[in-house]
A and B are shown apart, each in its own frame.
Chain A
Amino acid sequence: MKRLETIVKSDKLSQVVNAIRSAGAKGVTVTSIKGQGSGERPMLRSGRGTAQIRAEYNMMDSIMTVVDDSEVSNVVSAISQAAYTGKSGDGIIIVTDVDQVVNIASKKTDSSAL
């Protein structure tokens, strides 16, 4: 089991979630986040329109999903395709190992818990 945490620009959220689901993931958890990274942050009007400042954060979304080891490369390539624009700031995918997953209702574990 692997846990995939994908951080993308908020405007790509729907496409990425569709891609993850189409690639076979059973579910996703989405969190709205703010972040700084390689992507350029927008310029905002400030001082009642008399000046500009660099936004402190980019508005991003984090999409968490848990998949079987065999599906990881599938899902990762689906996400990369959906979120790709070729500019820095498209986001990142973090893949980590999962020790255990428990379904609260059925008490089943791991793959059958999803």
Chain B
Amino acid sequence: MKKQKISLIVMFTLVSVVSVTAMTQAYAQSTSDGMDGYVKGTSGIYTGNPHECWYSDEDGNMLPCRIDTGDTAWMLTATSLVLLMSPGVAIFYGGLARSKNSVNVFGMVLVIMGVAAMQWLTFGYSLAFGPNYEPGNAFLGSLDYVGFNNVSHYAPLGTVGSCQDTWSAAYQMNEMVDADQCSQDWPGTIPHMLFAAFQGTFAIITPILIIGAVVDRMKFSAVLIFVIVWSTFVYYPVAHWIWGGGFMADGTLDLDPSLSPSFVLDFAGGAVVHITAGFAALAAALVLGRRMGLGKLPMEPHNIPMVVIGAGILWFGWFGFNPGSEVMVDGISVSTWMATNIAAGTATVTWVLLSWAHTGKPSIIGAATGTIAGLGTITPASGWVGPMGALIIGIAAGAVCYGAVAYKNAKKWDDALDVWGVHGMGGLTGTILAGTLASPHIWDTGDGIGAWTGTAEGMEQQSIQIIGAAITVGYTLAVTFGILKVMDLVWPGGIRVTPREEDIGLDLAQHGERAYVNE
């Protein structure tokens, strides 16, 4: 019975992969524009995607617009930095878990990295960032980019125009080119595929954050299916709303069109990544129920050095996550780096002082948790606030998330590794504070006017932030709750392991492996 189930899953995976690949190939070859010239110059690379920037030379060949090599080198680096955060989460969560479940924690992270990468290729990128046509779908992207079809590894996104007249020309080497060979839009200086890769690393880490809530008790098979379904119904839509041109970005939430703020400020994913992951974790913890023996057994972290190393890797990787979200190199990438570092450091100190005052000793697990809280909280605001704003956000992160973790423990919600308290409440705090502390001194366009300026624009931005965050929280809680309830009903035996397996530990019960073997 069990073997049949596994072979069915393997078969299903293989069939889907093969059919999607075949479909992609067939679809790519049906592109009429330029694909008839496979061997003629560079025409074979032409995707025919009107949303990408291509220009025609005198012979009629379509050539990719100029990219900026500096921007592209930085974004390749930033993308790799963000990907490193996923193993960082594995080390952080693995250290926080009990030793009998730590292989399961590491394993869930590693395998989700694979699943989410495949899913991003097959349809994830398309649902999140696929182009919308008039009248436009404000809730989900189109299927144009399924299988990375129409996604060029040469051409940037945007419309073609003069290189000396791009909005970012002041910062770009391309300004020296006297030709109509440059993208006029953002992100217009790196290849489209690199943008897809960068966003893919976010789609990978977000479901990985959730597993902190389900450790010790969810079936491995159920986790994999949950991640696929959750990404489809929560992550891709929310990413589309805020980053892909959906209703939180297109002016639907513009309360007063005569004032400049019109969209939700979420620089690097406070709502898209941290609110969705954190509140999905809360829903998952409530659906799964408490771990056996909670409150009777001490379920303390099994390896504190691992927790600190994991936090360190995350802090490092976050310099790709936040500054990379500018998707180019300019003053905002620099400002974002600084805000990220200040908030992380301040939240670490805030948390350790709170725990010192509260329990009599400075907890180092607390310090590491404070680091993550600071990083999660600054994420939406990182590109919008100045260094002193980041300091305030760091203090707020430490205080709010500390309170949330203590509240969760008092309520006995078994969000085992505090995903809700740290990421959910951190992302919510940061998304709201981005509207409070955003400074018009950061962007040369004058975007980002927070409530602290005391202007009507600032008040409007503050309201937009609160509405956007509230919609994201409500949507995530409702949909995640629904997904898990349905899965629990239809899954043979439920999505939770048996009490016996829970006693043994998921390492042996689910994987037949032990974390620490002394032989």
Query: Interface on A for B, CB 8 Å cutoff?
Result: 43-53, 55-56
Set B298, B358, B405, B421: member contacting A53, Cβ < 8 A: B298
Q: Give Cα distance in the complex from A23 to B394, angstroms.
A: 59
Q: Is the CB of A49 within 8 A of B352?
A: yes
Whether A46 lies near B300 (C-beta < 8 A) is yes
Inter-chain contacts of B354 with A (CB < 8 A): 49-50
Q: Does B333 sit within 8 A of A, measured CB to CB?
A: no
Q: How far is the CA of A55 from the CA of B351 in the complex (A)?
A: 22
A48 to B355, CA, bound (A): 8
Residue of A44, A46, A48 with most chain B CB atoms under a 10 A cut-off: A48
Q: What residues of chain A lie closer than 8 Å to B298, measured between beta carbons?
A: 44, 46, 53, 55-56
> Could you say which residues of chain A place their CB within 8 Å of the CB of B297?
56
Q: How far is the CA of A52 from the CA of B449 in the complex (A)?
A: 43
Interface of B, secondary structure class, is helix
Residue of A nearest to B421 (CB): A48
**Contact call A48/B360, Cβ cutoff below 8 A:** no
Apart from the given pairs A50-B354, A50-B402, A56-B298, 9 other A-B contacts in the complex at a CB distance below 8 Å: A43-B360, A45-B355, A48-B366, A48-B369, A49-B365, A50-B358, A53-B300, A55-B298, A56-B297
Which residues 362-399 of B have a CB within 8 angstroms of A? 362-363, 365-367, 369
Contacts of A47 in B (CB 8 A): 405-406, 409
Given known contacts A50-B405, A53-B298, is B418 in contact with A45 (CB within 8 Å)?
no
- The digit string for B338-367, where 1 denotes a CB below 8 A from any CB of A, is 000000000000011011001111110111
Annotate B393-429 by CB proximity to A: 1 below 8 A, 0 otherwise.
Answer: 0000000001001100100000000100100000000
Q: Shortest distance in angstroms between B209's beta carbon and chain A's nearest beta carbon?
A: 16
Contact (Cβ within 8 A) A49 B359? yes
Q: Which residue of A lies closest to B406 (CB)?
A: A50
A50 lies within 8 A of B300 (CB): no
Measured CB to CB, the closest approach of chain A to B447, in angstroms, equals 36
CB proximity of B282 to chain A, nearest CB, Å? 16
Q: Could you tell me the distance between the alpha carbons of A52 and B354 in the complex, rounded to whole angstroms? A: 13
- Cβ of A53: which chain B residues have Cβ within 8 Å of it? 298, 300
Distance, CA A70 to CA B184, complexed state (A): 96
Contacts of B361 in A (CB 8 A): 45
With a cutoff of 8 Å between Cβ atoms, the chain B residues found around residue A56 in the complex are 297-298
Q: A47-B405, A47-B406, A47-B409 are in contact. Are A52 and B359 (CB under 8 A)?
A: yes
The answer on a CB contact under 8 Å between A51 and B359 is yes
Q: Which residues of A sit under 8 angstroms from B409, Cβ to Cβ?
A: 47, 50-51
- A86 CA / B215 CA spacing, docked (Å): 44
A45 to B96, CA, bound (A): 13
A45–B365 Cα distance when bound, in Å, is 8
List, sorted by A's number, 20 A–B pairs whose CB atoms are closer than 8 Å. A44-B300, A47-B405, A48-B355, A48-B363, A48-B366, A49-B351, A49-B359, A49-B362, A49-B365, A49-B367, A50-B355, A50-B366, A50-B406, A50-B409, A51-B409, A52-B360, A53-B298, A53-B300, A55-B298, A56-B297
A32 to chain B, nearest CB (A): 12
Which partner residue on chain B sits nearest A44 by CB separation? B300
A103 to B363, alpha carbons, bound, how many Å?
A: 50
